[in-house]
Amino acid sequence: MGPTPGLCFPRKMAAFRWFTAGESHGAELIAVVEGVPAGLELRVEHLDEDLARRQRGYGRGGRMKIEQDRAIIVAGVRGGQTLGSPIAVRIENRDHASWLDRMSTAPFESPPERVTRPRPGHADLPGSLKYDRADVRDVLERASARETAARVALGAISRVFLSALGVDVFAHVVRIGEVEASPPAGLEVVRDRARASEMACADPDAERRMRDAIAEAAHDKDTLGGVFEVVATGVPVGLGSHVQWDRRLDGQLAHALMSIQAIKGVEIGLGFEAARRRGSATHDAIVRDERLGLTRSSNGAGGLEGGISNGMPIVCRAAMKPISTLRRPLPSIDLETGAASLAAFERSDICAVPAASVVGEAMVCLALTRAALEKLGGDSMTETSRNLRGYLAQAAARLTIPASEPTIDE
């Protein structure tokens, strides 16, 4: 018997989902994540550590001297463990007290001065047209990268979950403007050096030249962008799928990174470099290792083939454009008068690539968490961990094929 005519069945909801709310100078940012299994050991310090890293970096603006981001977990955690219910986090905007006359949620006693000169490169003009707002502030407050503090808080929760599965995620800056870093060999060395660096850069010489480039841009009242790389190690083979376009993990990672404010390009593995090579110099040969079984001799694919993780480290890079708020404003048009004018200026950074790398970590963590839960399932960490062990044993049995040729260790 078919469904009753007119009866609408709800669409199946995603097992892992999240969202944020809040404006740059509003009272607070709010972040909610649903689908984290119960029994995960979680402390607010896990979130605060990443929030503090997001505020570091030479070239940050005056806002960082005002805000000292601290997370307040208000739901979904009890006694230091997740409950399986939605986790809600608040982050106070300390600067809000100075903006009550412009950012109150109640009707204004007297209308605040409107922002009517949109900034090129920002959401100001298209957003004000799309939402029919005469005051550009109604757009720029939400479009601001201040929102990424909420993402970093949720990414920190995902990082703890992934760590319990043996996955580690880190980022490092590889370029600021024209200055390109030469990271050392060894992913652990790169991770440790980047974490100890104010610029999140694993190359000390390049870091010095990056700081000089930022100082020069600041002197010219200009801004700088750059490139950061996010690496995830310990990711099991088999996350994502080839069977539908929206289940491909490389697409999900690209979407996650591209959604960060000011990101204009994403690469995975060799990325655009692969387009300049022949296939024989691009693809990763499958070889045998006595300890790992079947593995790869290189990682040009960046840990992803056919939209599926292949067991190698996942490597993504994101290109960040220079910040669009300039102390030497570009030409614009006043939306109120129609007259040519200079773009409005909002307090901003000179360079935020190191901070963006922390946001990139968070987005990769969130994307990998969703993919892991889609593959493994589990309402509790006990169940998810058991599922992982069973799956890894199954995969290891398939990868352990009797050798008829010498192994790579021989």
pLDDT of 8 > 70? The answer is no
In the chain, where the domains are located: 114-398
Q: How confident is the model at residue 404 (pLDDT cuts 50, 70, 90)?
A: low
The pLDDT tens digits for 226-253 are 999 999 999 999 999 999 999 999 999 9
Alpha helices for 200-278 (secondary structure H): 204-219, 249-258
Residue 390 is predicted with a pLDDT of: 96
Q: What is the DSSP letter of 95?
A: G
Q: What is the pTM of this model?
A: 0.92
Residue 59 is predicted with a pLDDT of: 76
The pLDDT tens digits for 342-351 are 999 877 799 9
The pLDDT tens digits for 153-186 are 999 999 999 999 999 999 999 999 999 999 999 9
The pLDDT tens digits for 31-61 are 999 999 999 999 999 999 999 999 988 876 6
Q: Kindly report the backbone phi and psi dihedral angles of residue 215, in degrees, each rounded to the nearest multiple of 5, phi listed first.
A: -60, -40
Question: Would the CA dihedral through 398, 399, 403, 404 be positive or negative?
Answer: positive
Alpha helices for 165-319 (secondary structure H): 187-196, 204-219, 249-258
pLDDT of 81 > 50? The answer is yes
Average pLDDT, the chain: 92
**Could you give the C-alpha distances from 89 to 157, 162, 314, in angstroms and in order?**
10, 19, 28
CATH code for the domain defined by 114-398: 3.60.150.10
Q: What is the DSSP letter of 38?
A: B
The pLDDT tens digits for 332-344 are 999 999 999 999 9
Q: How confident is the model at residue 107 (pLDDT cuts 50, 70, 90)?
A: very high
